[in-house]
Structure 1
C-alpha cells in the first residue's frame, strides 16, 4: 500500500470512536474501502496473546513484539513478512505510520505503558483484562482513549456472549425489581509468596529487563514467569484481577456503576465506602481469601446497593441467597425485590433468573446487538462500523473496582474512594496503593 494511501486511511480510522458512529456511504471519500484490512501490531504473543492474535488474523499482522525470542519466532512462522521486536517502545516509534491498531497481551504490569503509548499515537487498542495493574493506570487508560478518540476493547471475551448481553438487558429493564444487594466471587485467593533468594541465570531467549518494564528491578527467577506472575503483587493482580473483570461483567453493567465515574453531580455524592477483610495477608502477593463490601450510593433512579466481592471458598455467599443452589467457584448475583439474576459461569457466558414465582417475571425484549464476536467487534468498530461493548469507558472503571478490592483486602480497614478524582482521601496506606513508581525510561 502506498504511503499516502496508508496515511489517509489512518486519518479516517483515527477519527472513529466506536461510540455509535456508523460510516456508510462516506467511507470511500475518507480513503477507506469496506474490504481494506487493518495493519495490526501484537504486543505479547504467548499465552492469551496466541488466541487474541488468531482472533484478528484476517487483518494484516504487520508486527509482533515479545521479550521471549522463542515465542516470537513461533508466531512469525504463521505470518510471513511480519516485523519482530522485543521493545514495544521501539516498535511504536519506528512503525508509527504503518500501524493502525495494537493488541496488548502482556502481563498486567506492562499493560498501561504499552496501551497508553499506542493510544497517544492515535492507534486503536485491544488490551487484555484486567485492563491494568493499578487503579491509577486504569483511570489513565480511560482518559487517554477518550482524549485521542480511539476505538478500544478490553479482553473480557464473555462480553460478546448471550449470557452477558441478556443479563444486561434484564438489569436495564428492572426485570427483578430494585437491587439493594449484590455479590461477586471468584475461586481461590493466592498462596503465600516468598521472594526467591537464589539468582539463576536468565534464559538466553528472554530479555528480563524488558520483561520487568516499568516495575522496579529484581533478579530473574523462574518463580515469576510464565503465568505465575499473576500471584505476585509486583506484576499481577491475583485471582480477583485475573477473573474479576470476567465474572463481574454483567453485574457492573446491570448496577450502572459506570455512572459514578461520569462527570456531573458532587464528588462527595459519588464516593464509595469500602470495607475489607482478608486472611493470609503478606507483602509479596495477595491474601489467601478476601471479602470486601462496597457501599455504593444511588445512581439516578437506582437505589444505593451493597456489593460484596470475595475470593476463597469460605467467603462465598450462602446457598440460601441462591434459592438453594450451592455456590460454585465463580459467581455473580443480583438480588432484587422480585427475584435474582445469577451467573455461575466464570465468563458470564450463561445467566439465569432465580425466583420463587418465575411466572410473574416478564421477559424484556432484546435490545443489544448480537453476533460478530469480541475480536471482530473491535475490528469492525475500528473501521467505523458499530461500537465495542467493552471499551475502556467501561473496562477502566470495572478494573478500578477490582483493583480497589485488592487494596481493601490488603489494608483491612475502611476507606472512601472518590470516583471522580480517583483519590482515597481518608486512608494514607490505601492511597499509596493506587499507583506505584515506574523505573526510569518508562512512563504513561
Structure 2
C-alpha cells in the first residue's frame, strides 16, 4: 500500500552528520542486540526492563539524574545526553525511544535511516505529517528493520478475544465504536514560564529539540508525561496519549484505514494547551463490520468530565442493567445491530445479557503473543513480525491526531479528509496544522 505525503520528506538538518550508509547487521536468534535507550527515566525505565535480555549498550537522557540512575543499573553502558550521537553509532543495532512526543518521529526516522531497529513510545508522532512520514520511512526498509510502537495492550489476551468477537459478528453489523478515557488535563497556567537557571548537566538544548526556543523552567518538563503532554509544543493531550492504547482496539477489530471525515467538540481551542474534555468523531466509509461484511462506521472518542458524561448518556440506555458504564474509567463499546460488546484491558461484557447467556464464543483464532517486547526483539532477529510496526501504528496515530487537528482548527466543524492527497479539502487553513515549524538545526522537511 502506498502512503503519499503532502510534501516530500527531504531530510534532517539534524542528521546530516552521518546520514550515511544505512547499516543493517544480520542477526541470529541467539545473538544479543546492542540496544540504545533514548530517554532513560519515566517510561524509559519500564521499556528498558522490557528489553534487558539484550545488551543495554548505550543510555541517553537530557536529565543527569535519570541518566545516573540508569547507569547504576547498567554500569557497562555508554552514556550521552544527545540522541543524535546514538543514532549515528554504528555499533548500535536498535533504539528504544521514550522521550517527550516531539522527539519520537525525528529520533525514529534518523535511526531508521541509519539501518536501526526502532521501538518508540506512543504516540508515534507529534503531527499528522510526522505520522505519515513514519509509515513511509518504515515501508522503505520493512524487510531490513523491525519497528514497534509502545501499545503494550495490543499483545494482551483480552484485546484478542474482543477482536474475535467483533469479527465473528457477535454483535451483528457494527455501526459505531465508542472509545473513552476518564483522564483530563489540568490547566497549564502561564504560556511562557519565567526563566530559571539550567541545572548542572541538564541538556536543555536537546530537551527542547524541534520545539521553539524558550528559556529553561522545570515546569515545562518535571513530572513527566502528565505535565509536558498538556502543551501542544511537546505533547498531544489525552487523545494523543491514551487514544494510542484505546483506539487501537477498534482500529484492529474493524480493520480501519483512513477516515474520510473528522470533527471535534468540546471547550474552545487553546493555542497552548490540549483540551481538558473532548468528543472527537471520525467517519470511516469502509470498515470490516463483522462476519465478513463491509460497511460504514463512526468512531467516537470521549475524555474528561464532559466527554465521560456524554459517553454515559449515549451508551447506558443501550446497555440497560448489564453494566454501569460510568464505572468504566476506560473502555471501548462496539454497537451493532444485534447487540453491544464492551471491553477494556481486562474484561468483556456482551449486552443484552439475556441474549448472550448461552452464547458460545468463537474459537480463539488470534495467536497468543510472545509478549509485546519479545515480539519486537524476535522480529529484530528475523523471527516473525511485530504487529504494532510503524505501518500499522503510523496509520493509527495519523488517524488519532486528525482529531486533535480538528479541535485546534475549529471546534464543532466537520472536516473532509482526502488521505490520498494528504489534504483537508473543505478548510484550506486547517492544512497548516498537518505539520509544524521546526527550530533551526532540528528541521524535518
TM-score (norm 1): 0.86
What SS class does the counterpart of residue 402 from structure 2 fall into? helix
Identify the residue that residue 28 of structure 1 maps to in structure 2: none
5 Å matches for 1:168-207?
168-193=163-188, 194-207=190-203
Cα distance, 1:197 vs structure 2 = 4.3
State whether structure 2 residue 219 is matched by structure 1 residue 223.
Answer: yes
Q: Does 1:43 align with 2:24?
A: no
The question of whether the paired residues in 1 share the 8 Å contact of 2:278 and 2:306 is answered with: no
* Structure 1 position 125 matched with structure 2 position 135: no
Output aligned runs, 1:46-61, within 5 Å. Answer: 46-61=41-56
Conserved in 2, the CA contact under 8 Å of 1:175 and 1:362? no
Q: Show the 5 A alignment for 1:143-292.
A: 143-149=136-142, 150-193=145-188, 194-226=190-222, 227=224, 228-258=227-257, 260=258, 272-292=260-280
Supply the distance in 2 between the matched residues of 1:400 and 1:361 (Cα, whole angstroms). 37
1:360-416 CA deviation, whole Å, 9 max, x = no partner? 644221121214211111101111112112111221111112211112222212211
Map 1:103-142; keep pairs closer than 5 Å.
Answer: 103-142=96-135
What stretches of structure 1 of length at least 5 have no aligned partner?
1-6, 14-31, 261-270
Residues 1:414 and 2:414 aligned together: yes
Contact preservation (8 Å) 2:193, 2:217? no
Shift of 1:121: 1.1
Q: Which residue of 2 aligns with 1:11?
A: 25
What value does the CA root-mean-square deviation take over the aligned residues? 1.9
CA contact (8 A) 1:187 1:239 kept: no
Partners of 1:162 and 1:350 within 8 A in 2: no
Residues 293, 306 of structure 1: 8 Å contact kept: yes
Whether the aligned pair in 1 keeps the contact of 2:103 and 2:209 (CA below 8 Å) is yes
> Structure 1's 196 and 11: CA in aligned 2 closer, same or farther, altered over 3 A?
closer
C-alpha distance in 2, partners of 1:204/1:187? 38
Partner of 2:304: 312
Cα offset, 1:280, TM superposition: 4.7
Q: Does 1:354 align with 2:346?
A: no
SS of 1:437 mapped into structure 2: coil
Quick check: 1:233–1:286 contact (8 Å CA) kept in 2? yes
Distance (whole Å) between structure 1 residues aligned to residue 139 and residue 349 of structure 2: 34
Q: Distance in 2 between matches of 1:439 and 1:64?
A: 25
| Matching residue of 1:20 | none
2:286 aligned partner: 298
Give the total of aligned pairs. 402
Contact 1:129–1:156 (8 Å) recurs in 2: yes
1:364 corresponding residue in structure 2: 362
Residues 230-253 of structure 1 show CA distances to partners (whole Å, capped at 9, x for unaligned) of 101110111111211112221111
Structure 1 counterpart of 2:17: none
Moved more, 192-201 or 71-80: 192-201
The equivalent residue for 1:387 is 385
Shift, 1:216, TM fit: 1.1
Equivalence for 1:16: none
Q: CA deviation at 1:330?
A: 1.7
Question: What's the CA shift for 1:165?
Answer: 1.3
- Contact 2:256–2:286, Cα closer than 8 Å, also in 1: no
Query: Which moves more between the two structures, 52-61 or 434-443?
Result: 434-443
Alignment partner of 1:403 out of 401, 404, 411 = 401
Residues 389 and 284 of structure 1, relative CA distance in 2, 3 Å threshold: same
Q: 1:17: which partner in 2?
A: none
Unaligned stretches of 5+ in structure 2? Answer: 1-20
- 1:337-372 CA deviation, whole Å, 9 max, x = no partner? 2222212x3xx3433333340046442211212142
| 1:87 equivalent in structure 2 | 82
CA displacement at 1:428 relative to structure 2: 2.8
